[in-house]
Structure 1
Amino acid sequence: MADLCKRFRLCKHGECLCSDPDTLLMAAFADGDNFAFDALYRRNYGWVQHLAHQILRNQQDAQDIAQDAFLRIIASRKNWQATARFRSWMHRIVVNLCLKRQKSLRRQETISLEELSEDFDELPPELLSTGEDLAKEAAEVLQDALSHLPQRQRQVLELRLQGYSISQIARLLGCSRGAVDALLHRARKSLRKRLGKD
């Protein structure tokens, strides 16, 4: 424990984080102990999901956020620094993920046709109408087209439209950047075909 405290500078600025079990577990995980992550997950998954549910009021979304939060922990392993107690740090991660999810859900309620037209440069022009009735109908057509994509293609495309980078999508889905690029290519091709462009 003393080695971890010294290596990760857990005692500084008048505050010692060595007495916090979760922070010590995170230090151990950052130091290469995979069992420490298992312990962190068991100790913290419940309150993380509960916090997400309090914000989002949706059980499935809360579970997704909890999983994403722990993926962030894994991704931060190599560069982790003890700037705060683990739960304070995790709390910020969960809140930020929830706020991002709320923003994306509001955004998905009305698909951005302009954004899709940038990503899919040959969408039928009638889908880009700006009249209220036509825009609503176009959004329904696009939602239908998206719903018919294979699950993996739809996941990648939705994450991309939510603003995630290729690297972030690869990390979240546990695959390579090349695999994400290939899935995006197939999703675009399938969507264009579904919309009558191929």
Structure 2
Amino acid sequence: MEAFQAASVKNYDDEDLMEYFQNGKELAFNELVYRYQDRLHNFLYRYTHNHQDCEDLVQETFLRVHKSKHSYERIAKFSTWMYTIALNLAKSLYKKKQRMYKVSIHKDESDPDDRELLLEDATILQDDALHEKLCMEQLEKALMELPEDFREVIILRDLQQLSYEEISDITDIPMGTVKSRINRGRAQIQALIKDYVQLGTNAA
């Protein structure tokens, strides 16, 4: 392995940095933290919906990465390995606190198997901000009613925009199951939100 060049640390890929870190180069670890702290914070906030819990989880994830550096093998992408650690920590916390998630649902145009989630609301609101707020509240409520297996893959896919292969590696389930859970979860969310809209209309 070539000598570590601190001046060009930003030019190394994640896996190289992890290997240098395993060989005692703390600066390599610092660069990994710099690259992923914001993405990790964004990801974990959707599980906790609490900034303090999120900060604690981010710190705990990097602490685990630091302590477990020698368990990492280069055959896996560093990001996949790190997200697996973060997901396990988040799931553990979620089971304790049952926080709400926020997600953005989209359809991958490049994948013919990807099912689009259509959020239709017959209620017309003049205030766009209020309309968006109500739609998000409906989405959060529906998401909380999904089985946990569906919630986690939707967050990884639609919020973090990870590939099916990466999600399969992180969750340790077959890629076909990942796609099926995402599509079934989106279908359930769509049906639930339609029910909420109908209930609101009837109540009015």
Shorter-chain TM range is 0.3 to 0.5
Of the two structures, which has the highest relative contact order with CA contacts closer than 8 Å and spacing of 6 or more? 2
Structure whose CA Rg is larger: 1
TM-score, normalised by the number of residues in structure 2: 0.46
